[in-house]
Amino acid sequence: MSPLTDFLLLSPREVPLGGPRGMSVHRTLPAKETSLIGAWCFADHFGPDDVSTGGGMQVARHPHTGLATVSWLFEGAITHRDSIGSHALVRPGDVDMMAAGAGITHSEFSTNDTTVLHGVQLWYALPERTRFTTREFAMHTPAPRATDTARIRVGMGRLRAVDEAGDVLEDHSPLRTDTELSMAQIDLGAGASLRLDLEPGHEHGVLVDRGRALLRTGARSLDAGRGELAVLPDGADHLELRADDGEDLRVMLLGGEPLGEDIIMWSNFVGRTHEEIEQFRARYQAEIGVELGLEDAPIAGIARERGGLGAEDEQFGPFAPHTPPAIPAPQLPNGRLRSRGRAGRPTA
């Protein structure tokens, strides 16, 4: 893809989470215009939703391969459970990261005492060199850094920023990732501004949760409203971020080194070929007891060789008993799945 020389503004689309009767989320990645910001390949933004009388988040056991999930809440709480034995409560200010490796399943349910649910869920694609890495779950609760007009929480990577008075906000996260990534929540009072230092070799985006963001880097500028994702021009070494005068601003800053790889992303699977996705799906379906039997859906050779799995192992399990039934994977499309580069258009 040729370099991105100006801002790119992505609008969200509404998607039901966990099926047609699930909670609605607003998805900005992947988009037709671009599939990646660094290795970030998926961004869902939800709430604030009053779930006191509704179902809230009810996403039963489902699979992932070749990616890591990252959850970040502004309000409410979620219980996370996965097939490597993790069982965690995720609250506002916590960042939880689950690396799928060759295959993992997990579930996410909003807690019974949650009345308002509000946050983001992100995925990043694991690079080729580590996409069959050991499955992992990790959490971190970053301390807020604040001045009179600005506040940051650095969930991943590092961030340095300077407010209008010259006060410095700076922090870094101890979470380790397979590729250089950054993720931070930034809050600004109405009319306040902040200058962010950026790594010019990385790609960056700003997802607006509340208010209206006025963005400028060099001679280029853009306004972004609630739910929109602004992708910055390549090579930007700073960002001037200002909150509109009428409302306080809250954004999520995403960044990372270019992935430099084409990926196939279908349903909850990330792979590199149509055949991989087909085999990953068939094995998951067999493990949860639908469609083919285990003997007819062997673990893909690449997952056995690089993921250290034996022929009799479970690629996606096991899972805790007495939990809601697993969600079957949707049917594959009739056509052949094709890889998507950073530009978002399928590659030949």
Across residues 177-186, what is the average pLDDT?
Answer: 96
Task: Quote the pLDDT of residue 22.
Answer: 63
pLDDT for position 344: 60
8 Å CB contact between 130 and 160: no
Q: Hey, how many other C-beta atoms are within 10 angstroms of the C-beta on 129? A: 10
Q: In what order do the strands lie in the sheet with 203-210?
A: 8-10, 229-231, 203-210, 249-256, 181-188, 150-156, 145-146
Residue showing tokens 């899972």: 319
User: Which pLDDT score, from 0 to 100, does residue 18 have?
Assistant: 59
Half-sphere exposure of 346 (CA within 13 A, CB side): 11
Position 138 pLDDT exceeds 60: yes
Question: Over 90: is that where the pLDDT of 346 sits?
Answer: no
Q: Give the whole-number percent of the chain exceeding pLDDT 70.
A: 96
Name the band, by pLDDT with cuts 50, 70 and 90, for residue 189. very high
Q: How far is CA 30 from CA 27, 48, 74, 167, 290, in A?
A: 8, 22, 22, 36, 29
The Cα–Cα gap between 20 and 22 comes to: 6
What's the CA gap between 332 and 185, in Å, rounded? 36
Determine the pLDDT at residue 20: 52
The residue-averaged pLDDT of 10-38 equals: 85
CB 42 within 8 A of CB 122: yes
pLDDT at 193 > cutoff 90: yes
Q: What is the rounded distance in angstroms from the CA atom of residue 122 to the CA atom of residue 175?
A: 15
Token duo for residue 184: 């931070």
What are the Cα distances from residue 173, in Å, to 76, 135, 145, 170, 203? 23, 20, 13, 11, 19
- The residue among 321 and 28 whose pLDDT is bigger is 28
- If pLDDT is split at 50, 70 and 90, which confidence band does 3 have? confident
Q: With cut-offs at 50, 70 and 90, classify the pLDDT of residue 150.
A: very high
Mean pLDDT of 10-24: 78
40-75 pLDDT, tens digit per residue, is 999 999 999 888 777 789 999 999 999 999 999 999
How large a percentage of the chain has pLDDT more than 90?
Answer: 85
Interacting residues of 111 by C-beta distance below 8 A, sequence separation 6+? 76, 77, 78, 79, 89
**Dist CA 151 CA 147 (whole Å):** 6
CA-to-CA distance for 88 and 334, rounded, in angstroms? 38
**CB 47 within 8 Å of CB 72:** no
Average pLDDT of the chain is 93
**If pLDDT is split at 50, 70 and 90, which confidence band does 165 have?**
very high
pLDDT digits (tens, 9 = 90+) for 216-229: 999 999 999 999 99
Task: Report, as an integer, the average pLDDT of 255-264.
Answer: 95
> Which band of pLDDT confidence, cut at 50, 70 and 90, is reported for residue 16?
confident
Q: What region, left, alpha or beta, does residue 165 occupy, with left being phi > 0 and alpha being psi -120 to 50 degrees?
A: alpha
Domain ranges of the chain: 8-256
Tell me: pLDDT of 348 over 60. no
State which CATH number among 2.40.50.140, 3.30.230.70, 2.20.25.190, 2.60.120.10 fits the domain covering 8-256.
2.60.120.10
Supply the pLDDT for residue 55: 74
Residue range 293-334, pLDDT digits in tens: 999 999 999 999 999 998 889 999 899 888 999 999 999 999
Amino acid at 1: M
Residue 106 confidence (pLDDT): 97
Q: Which pLDDT score, from 0 to 100, does residue 154 have?
A: 98
> CA-CA distance, 240 to 232, in Å (whole number)?
11
Global confidence as pTM: 0.95
